[in-house]
Amino acid sequence: MRSVLTICCMLSCFFAAAKTITVGKGRAFQTITAGIAAAAGGDTVLVYPGIYREKNLLISKSLVLKGIDFPVLDGEHRYEIISVKASAVTVEGFKLLHSGVSSLEDIAGIKVYDARDVVISNNILNDSFFGIYIQNGTNCIVENNLLTGTAKNEQQSGNGIHSWKCDSMRIIGNTVSGHRDGIYFEFVKNSVIWRNKAQNNIRYGLHFMFSNDDMYVSNIFENNGSGVSVMFSKNIKMFSNYFAENWGDASHGILLKEISDGYLQGNYFEKNTSAVYMEGANRIRMTYNSFRNNGWALKIQASCMDVELERNNFIGNTFDVGTNGTLVQNTFNNNYWDKYEGYDLNKDGKGDIPYHPVSMYSMIVEKYASAMILFRSFITTLLDKTEKILPVLTPENLRDNSPLMKKAF
């Protein structure tokens, strides 16, 4: 009991000692650097409106740095604007402009170095090389930030929100555009990406590399070079995301490369060159996803195994499924295919004959892209009809044995 009272007394003293320091014209301090220097651990530094050009702001103690009405921090195209090198720091309510650019250093608008319990929220970042960069962070939150880059090519641009070697991250409600990748994870585990919008980024809206046991939910990936790339990772859950208008020769709604034990449920893929492209993917389960008006709904390479598709909707796609091999060790069951021409005599809601989603023409296009010039011609229709009667090129075991007669949801 005495130890509990001692701890309570210590906490009371700590909170009683915490103070608020004000920065701005007519305030206690005229520069943010001076305000941070005067602050002690646990203090709050309030920054009032104005334009602050102070090179690099270094935060090396636990404090709250909060802007009132979005004071402007200008990096003048030369500096990293805020560097956080302490745990339990909050950065909130600033407008950060014009960070430096470097091919040797990952300069950012806000960069966190080897810290935990850092919160970066409600900031506006324009024209930053990297936007928010967290290096070796644990239990950090990046929430409700607006990041707008001016990237012209991949080589001279950084990512919007970049996490490297992190654990238990929460990336929530951010809007990212104009960067190389909108959100980038490398060696990140046990983390959640939720309710973000990544659009008009040069390469990917979201990029995973060597990151395990993560989940992304209810995000929008629109008009990026490609929507999402998940590579060399495992145990990734992908729920209720929206992938749209990711067009181009090598564009995908989502690329799954060398990934295992993944789960996709309730995602919407609309107007992508390839909605889902899978290569070297194993033990992937896909349920209740919608594929609508894509070039290819699903490209599943022969290197994929134990992929299960059940109760998905395929509507208005040019090709439902494409593949590059004839040996298929994956399962399709109880999906809705708008191109299915079968019947349901026993009225159980499932077709009485299997559906083969890979057409002969799609196999030809897979090998000879120039064959697309024959799209919607009589000869392609004749080829597909003939292949259904006497299958030769299409993989016989890639079929849905119980296709649904009505949409799955």
Tell me the per-residue pLDDT of 149-158, one tens digit each, with 9 for 90 and over: 998 887 778 9
pLDDT value of residue 391: 57
Domain CATH code at residue 246: 2.160.20.10
Q: Name the H helices within 237-359.
A: none
Secondary structure class of 9 (helix, strand, coil): helix
The answer on pLDDT for 403 being more than 90 is: yes
Contact 93, 70 (CB under 8 A): yes
The answer on pLDDT for 144 being more than 80 is: yes
Answer yes or no: do 170 and 308 share one domain. Answer: yes
The answer on pLDDT for 11 being more than 50 is: no
Instruction: List, in order, residues 6 or more apart from 174 with CB less than 8 Å away.
Output: 142, 143, 144, 145, 146, 147, 160, 161, 183, 196, 197
Q: Is 55 left (phi over 0), alpha (psi -120 to 50) or beta?
A: left
pTM as predicted: 0.89
Q: Is residue 40 part of a domain?
A: no
Residues listed for the chain: 409
Answer yes or no: do 255 and 209 share one domain. Answer: yes
pLDDT value of residue 398: 83
Q: Is residue 77 part of a domain?
A: yes
Domain count, the chain: 2
Q: Is residue 338 part of a domain?
A: yes
Answer yes or no: do 145 and 103 share one domain. Answer: yes
Q: What is the mean pLDDT of residues 12-30?
A: 79
Q: Is residue 325 part of a domain?
A: yes
Q: Is residue 41 part of a domain?
A: no
Answer yes or no: do 291 and 232 share one domain. Answer: yes
pLDDT value of residue 13: 47
Answer yes or no: do 303 and 364 share one domain. Answer: no
Answer yes or no: do 366 and 284 share one domain. Answer: no
pLDDT value of residue 156: 78
Q: Select the highest-mean-pLDDT range: 5-9, 35-39, 320-324.
A: 35-39
pLDDT in tens, 81-128: 999 999 999 999 999 999 999 888 899 999 999 999 999 999 999 999
| DSSP states along 139-195 | S-EEES-EEE---SSSTT---SEEEEEEES-EEES-EEESSSEEEEEEEEES-EEES
Q: Is residue 163 part of a domain?
A: yes
- Closest by Cα among 76, 138, 96, 141 to 113: 138
Q: What percentage of the chain exceeds 70 in pLDDT?
A: 86
pLDDT band at 68 (very low <50, low <70, confident <90, very high): very high
Q: Is residue 8 part of a domain?
A: no
Answer yes or no: do 355 and 379 share one domain. Answer: no
Answer yes or no: do 389 and 290 share one domain. Answer: no
Answer yes or no: do 270 and 374 share one domain. Answer: no
Answer yes or no: do 284 and 388 share one domain. Answer: no
Residue ranges making up the domain that contains 382: 360-393
Answer yes or no: do 81 and 222 share one domain. Answer: yes
pLDDT in tens, 163-202: 999 999 999 999 999 999 999 999 999 999 999 999 999 9
The answer on pLDDT for 311 being more than 80 is: yes
Secondary structure class of 387 (helix, strand, coil): helix
Tokens representing 362?
């799609």
